[in-house]
Amino acid sequence: MTSTRTPLSSLAPDELARFLADKQAAYADLQARGLKLDLTRGKPSSAQLDLSGELLNLPTTTKDRAGADVRNYGGLEGLTELREIFAELLWVDVDQVTCQGNSSLSLMHQALSYLLLWGGPDSERPWRDEPSVKFVCPVPGYDRHFSMLADFGIEMVTVPMNDNGPDVAAVADLVRDDPSVKGMWIVPTYANPTGSVVSEDVAAELMAMPTAAPDFRIFWDNAYAFHHLTEHEAKSADALSLAQASGHPNRPIMFASTSKITFAGAGVSVLAASTANKTWFLRHLAMGSIGPDKINHLRHVEFFGSADGVRQHMRRHREIIAPKFAAVDAALTAELDGLGIAEWTRPTGGYFVNLDVLDGTATRVVDLAKQAGIALTPAGASFPHGQDPRDRNIRLAPTFPQLDEVETAMAGVATCVALAAAEQLSK
């Protein structure tokens, strides 16, 4: 739809004053409704969790395919039959895959801990013994990546996140000469929060670029690899093969999980990497584990049946959540299209809509929404240390509420965006 509205910044003063008064009235009405809605976190809804209800009655046996008793100790790599399913889904070899417990965030925390305490297979020393360690952070990005880095005392250097992935020229500049730049995080498919998909070209450049650090790591967090919102199902770039072909086989470590496939709190996690990386990871993991929860592995194997079982299951998720994403777009379009005060993504997968409002108003929008009973993720959450330099970014998470709640909440959010912009422009 093409809007016939006049951009807010082009309004005459009296027109702007009238717009502001309209929005103040609309906001007063909104507040009077006493809403209590929450768009803060990317959580699956009850209806999505119900799709995996059968898991609660599984497994039907206690032996894995090799005849091992899944109830007992052992099997550090995870069940082979589960590893096979994820190898197929992630386009990697089963030998490159280990499956562990709930969750991939834990695997990332472990991998980073091991790098700090021991260094990787190609490190000159433990990262903790380096004068400083920096990570490249595409922004906006996932708040938990940033908070983990902050807790580890790792300095964050930002680069823009584009539609086809991180700004690869900016990344290459940062890593070329500074050996303290040790790694970066990427959500390659349907990124949190922008929904971008890293193209094969960008992935190839990231895997090939020269780095001053001999042990540069890309944490390839493929959390939404299978989480399509349309019939166009993006295929993740083949990071491990690209890295191998470029002579940097140990650069990427790939992570995935079923947290947003089966049960968010009781899923299985996946790490895929070069032989050297995987051996290194399992050697340290073995010091603190006699094996993952293999019953839950078998439970998932029986539930999915195959990689195709996962794909079909994800289509059932899509049926539930795609209308919620459409509702976000519809509400924002209805209220804001053409006003020149907001841009938002129409993601084809993942869990988030990225909303950029008028510079300097994101905090105000979140505050207005809160006072109207609509909880949004704090402004700036998608930036290191929660600091959005332009104060314009808001992450919307529409999966958890019911569809009608999303509609109501987003209409309210759109009112808040318009009001905050009018306030700002009237100053």
Interacting residues toward its own copies by CB under 8 A? 41, 43-44, 46, 49, 52, 56-57, 59, 62, 69-75, 101-103, 105-106, 108-110, 113, 116-117, 128, 144, 147-148, 151-152, 259, 263-266, 284, 287-296
Spatial CA neighbour of 107 closest among 309, 310, 267: 267
Asked if 301 and 82 count as a contact pair (C-beta separation under 8 A), the reply is yes
CB atoms within 10 A of CB 73: 10
CA distance between the termini of the chain: 31
The two tokens of residue 418 are 């318009």
Asked if 305 and 56 count as a contact pair (C-beta separation under 8 A), the reply is no
- Calculate ∠ Cα 227-230-231, nearest 5°: 105
- Taking the C-alpha atoms of residue 198 and residue 166, their distance in angstroms, rounded to an integer, is 8
Helix (H) or strand (E) holding 171: helix 168-177
Asked if 79 and 66 count as a contact pair (C-beta separation under 8 A), the reply is no
- Taking the C-alpha atoms of residue 75 and residue 321, their distance in angstroms, rounded to an integer, is 36
The two tokens of residue 40 are 């803060």
**Amino acid letter, 381:** A
The two tokens of residue 377 are 């993720």
Pairing assessment for the beta strands 217-221 and 181-186 based on DSSP bridges: parallel
- Taking the C-alpha atoms of residue 141 and residue 156, their distance in angstroms, rounded to an integer, is 12
